[in-house]
Chain A
Amino acid sequence: MSQSPTVLLMGHPNVGKSALFNRLAGASISESNYAGTTVEYTESQLALDDGTVPIVDVPGTFSLEPKDRAEAVAVEFLEDASDPIVVCVVDATRIERGLNLVVELLDRGYGAVVALNMWDEARQQGVDVDAETLSDLLGVPVIPTVATEGVGVDDLQSTLDGAQSSSLAAIRERLPPDGSDLGGVADGSGLDGPVDGSNPAARWDLVDAIVESAVTYRETAPSLADHLGRLTVAPKTGLPFAVAVLYGLWAFFSAVAGFFTDGYFVPLFDDHWLPWIQTAFPGEGGWLYFLLVGDPAATNSFEAFGVLTSGLFVAIGVVLPAILALYLVLALLEDSGYMARLAVLLDAAFHRIGLHGYAIVPMVLSFGCNVPGVAATRTLETDKQRFLTMTLLSVFIPCGAQLGVMMSLIPQYTGYILLYLLAGFFVFGAILNRLVPGSSPEVAVDIPPLRQPRLANVGTKLSLRLRGFMTSAVPFVLAGVGVVNLLYLGGAVDWLATALGPVLSGWFGVPQETVPALIAGFMRKDLAIAQLSAISMSPFQTVMSVVMVSIYFPCVATFAMLIKEGRTSGGVLRVVGGALATLVAALFLWGGLLRLGGTLLGVA
C-alpha cells in the first residue's frame, strides 16, 4: 500500500462486524447477538506487513440508502473516507441479503474484500458456499470467517492488500450463460441488458444469479435451538418463558446486589469506615467537615450525607454491586440472542405507542443506564419514534443504580414502583403517539439465532460497562453530595423547601424535607433515593417520593445525551422541550394519580 487507506468494516447489523473488529485490531469493543450494538463508529489500528492502517467498525447498514441515523453514519463514513478498503462482512447463513450490499458497494466503485462470516453456522444449516467461485464471479477476494473463533481472520488480514473494485457489467459477463436468464425483471432491466445498480430489482436479480452459481442448499433438520427459537417468539409459549427469564433476572439481581451490599458493604461502611472517619477527620463543626463527612452523629452511611461517607457508600457499596449483577444478566441475554426475541414478543404492545419491538433494546439498556439507552434510539427509523423513546426512557425507566438503591432501602415496594412506572411508560406513550406528529413505520424485526453466550465476550462487555460506570457515574455521585451540601450551607435548600413546600405537601403529600433529594436527583437519582431514606416518612410517602424522584427529571448525564441526540432527531429544542413538558405533565398527573389512589385506599 503506497498510502494509508482506512479499512472500513461494513455489513448488515448483527453479522459479526464488531467481533471481527476485535479480532483484527486486538480491541475489546462490545459485541452482541442482536442488531444495533454499534450505533457509533469505533476506530483502532490494524497491523499490516508494511505498517499500520486505521480500521473502523461502522454501524450496520442494510443498504447505502440510509433509513435511520445509525445507517446514515455508516454511509457518511464510506463517502467521507478517501480511497477506503471496504471489508464487507456478510452473514453466510443469509448470503443473498449480504450480497445485495456487496453489489451495491461494487457498483459505486469501492474496493472491497468480502468476509463470509458465520461460515460454520452456514454449513450446519445446509448452506454450502463455493467461496472460490463466488470470488471469481464478484472479482474481489472472498474469505470464509468465523469471527467469534478467529477462524479465517489471518487470511482476511493478508488479503486486504488485494482489495479490488469490480463493475456489475463485469460480474454479469462472468456469470455462466445458463444463469443469465434467471432474473428478468418486470421493468425490463434484467440481466439481458446493462445492470442498473441503483435499481434494487435489478440488483436482486444479479444476486440471485450469483447465488445460483456459487451456493447450494442442503436439506437439514431443524436443531433443538431452532425449535426453541421458534417457541420463544410464539406468544403462547414465549410469554411464559419471558416471565421466567425476567423473574430470573430480577431474582439474580436482588440476590447478588443484596449479597455484596447487605452482606459486606453495609457492615464495612457502618461499623468501620463511618465511625473512623467521623473521629479521624479534623474540624468537626466546620464547613469542610460538613461537606466531606456530613452529620457527625449519624449511625449509618445513608444518613451521614458527606462526600466521603454517603457519597462513597452509595457509589461503591450500593450501586456498583447492583449494576454488576444487572449488566451481567443483560450481557448474557444480549449474547444469547434472546433480546431480539423479547422484541418480537413485545412488538404488538409497542405498536400501540407508535414504536415497534426493537424499542425494547434501548429500554432494556436503560435499565442499566439511561445514557446508552438514549444513544441506542438511533436505530429507530423516524424522528417521532426517537423522540417518543428518548422521552419515555428518560422519564419512566429507572436505571440499574437507582434500582439497586431502591432494592436496598425499600425492597418490599420496589416491584410495585417499577410496575407503576412501566404503566406510565405505556400510558404516556399512547398519549404522545397521538399528540406528536410524524410517522411510525412498520419494520421487520430481524431475529438472530439462539446461541450459547461466550464467556469471553460477556466478560469484555461487563468490564467495559463497569469501567464506564466507575469513570462517569462515580464522580457524579460524589459531586452530587458536594453540591447538595454546598446548597445547604448557602441556605438555598431551606429557601427551596419553603417555596416548594405547599406543592409538595398539597399535591403529592410528601414533606418539604424531600427538596434536597430532588436537587440531588438532578445529579444522580440513586443518590436522591438514598437521601430520601434519611427522612422520616410513612410507607406511602416513601413510595410517593421515590416515584417523584424517578419521574421528575433525568439525571444530568441523561440530560446531556438528550441534547446531543436531539440535534439529529428533530432539533434540540423539540426533543428537550418535549421531554421537559412530558415530565412535568407526568410528574403532576401520574404522581397525582398515585396520591389519589393512596387517598382512596386510605394509605396516603
Chain B
Amino acid sequence: MRLDEAYFGLLGAAVGLVGMLAVARGLGLAVPDPQPTLAVLTVSGTFLLWRGVILLSAGAFYLYGATEGLEDPSMRARVFMASLMIWIVAGVDLLGRLLGAIPGGADRWVASGSEILAAMGPPYSPAVLAAPLVLAALAYRSQGGSP
C-alpha cells in the first residue's frame, strides 16, 4: 500500500466519522458535543446538517480513493475534490469568524488585536482542523493526470 493511500484512508475515516456526528446533531439527535473532551473541536453552529453532509461525502471520497488506489489519476482527482470541499467549508468558517470579530461595536470601529485573536482561537470546527491535514492533496496538482 502506498503511503498516501494509508494517509488519506485514515483521514477519510476520521473526517467521515465527524461528518456522521455532525449530520446526527444537525438532524436534532441527542448526540453529545465532543468539545468538553476534545478542547479544540466543536461540532455545532448553523447549517450543521449541510456541513455534516459535506464532511461525510469528503470522507467517503478519501476512503474510496484510498481503497481503489491512488496511482489512478482519477482517484487522485477525487481526493483533491474532497480536499476542495473541506477547504471551502473551513475557509468560510474562518472568514465568518474573522469578519465577525473585526468590528469594535458602537465605541470604536475596529476591535483590538487581542479580541480578534481570541475570536480566532479554539475550539474549531472539524473542517478547520482537517484543512491543514488535507493540504497533502496539493501534491497531486503538480503531478497532473499522468500516473
Contacts and interface: CB of A to CB of B under 8 A. Distances in A.
B141 A247 contact: no
Mostly helix, strand, loop or mixed at chain B's interface?
Answer: helix
Nearest to A411: B46
A267 B105 contact: yes
A263 B103 contact: yes
A227 interface: yes
Contact of B100 (A221, A231, A240, A259): A259
B28 interface: no
Interface stretch (A248-256, A297-305, A454-462, A585-593): A248-256
A436 interface: no
B127 to A, nearest CB: 10
B144 interface: yes
A267 B103 CA distance: 10
Given A243-B50, A263-B102, A254 B96 contact: yes
A248 B91 contact: yes
A258 interface: yes
Given A243-B53, A263-B99, A267-B106, A231 B78 contact: yes
A52 interface: no
Interface stretch (B3-11, B31-39, B69-77, B113-121): B69-77
Contacts of A245: 88
Contacts, number: 104
Nearest to A251: B92
B145 A247 contact: no
B95 A255 contact: yes
B89 A244 contact: yes
Nearest to A254: B96
B22 interface: no
Contacts of A250: 47
A130 interface: no
Contact of B89 (A224, A247, A262): A247
B84 A255 contact: no
Contacts of A262: 103
Interface in A191-225: 221-224
A422 to B, nearest CB: 15
B100 A258 contact: yes
A154 interface: no
Interface string B132-147: 0000000011011110
Contacts of A271: 106
A264 interface: yes
Nearest to B60: A240
A227 B145 contact: yes
A329 to B, nearest CB: 10
B103 A224 contact: no
A241 interface: yes
Contacts of B81: 228, 231-232, 237, 241
B99 A259 contact: yes
A79 interface: no
Mostly helix, strand, loop or mixed at chain A's interface?
Answer: helix
A602 to B, nearest CB: 18
Contacts of A240: 53-54, 57-58, 61, 85
A227 B74 contact: yes
A243 B57 contact: yes
A264 B109 contact: yes
Interface in A247-294: 247-248, 250-252, 254-256, 258-259, 262-264, 267, 271
A262 B93 CA distance: 18
Contacts of B47: 247, 250-251, 415
A251 B109 contact: no
A132 interface: no
A226 B76 CA distance: 12
Contacts of B100: 255, 258-259, 263
Contacts of B73: 221-222, 224, 227
B80 interface: yes
Nearest to A240: B57
Nearest to B106: A267
A74 to B, nearest CB: 36
B54 A243 contact: yes
B23 to A, nearest CB: 12
B106 A224 contact: no
Given A224-B77, A227-B145, A252 B103 contact: no
A238 B74 CA distance: 14
Contacts of B99: 255-256, 258-259, 263
A224 B141 contact: yes
Contact of B85 (A227, A241, A254, A256): A241
A256 B99 CA distance: 7
Contacts of B50: 243, 247
Interface in A433-471: none
Contacts of A256: 95, 99
A247 B54 contact: yes
A341 B32 CA distance: 38
Contacts of A230: 74, 77
A223 B102 contact: no
Contacts of A243: 50, 53-54, 57
B96 A251 contact: yes
B106 to A, nearest CB: 5
B54 A223 contact: no
B88 A247 contact: yes
A244 B54 contact: yes
Nearest to A250: B47
7 contacts: A232-B81, A240-B61, A241-B81, A247-B89, A248-B91, A251-B96, A258-B99
Given A222-B73, A244-B58, 15 more contacts: A224-B73, A224-B77, A228-B77, A228-B80, A231-B78, A231-B81, A240-B54, A241-B85, A245-B88, A247-B88, A248-B88, A254-B96, A259-B99, A264-B103, A267-B103
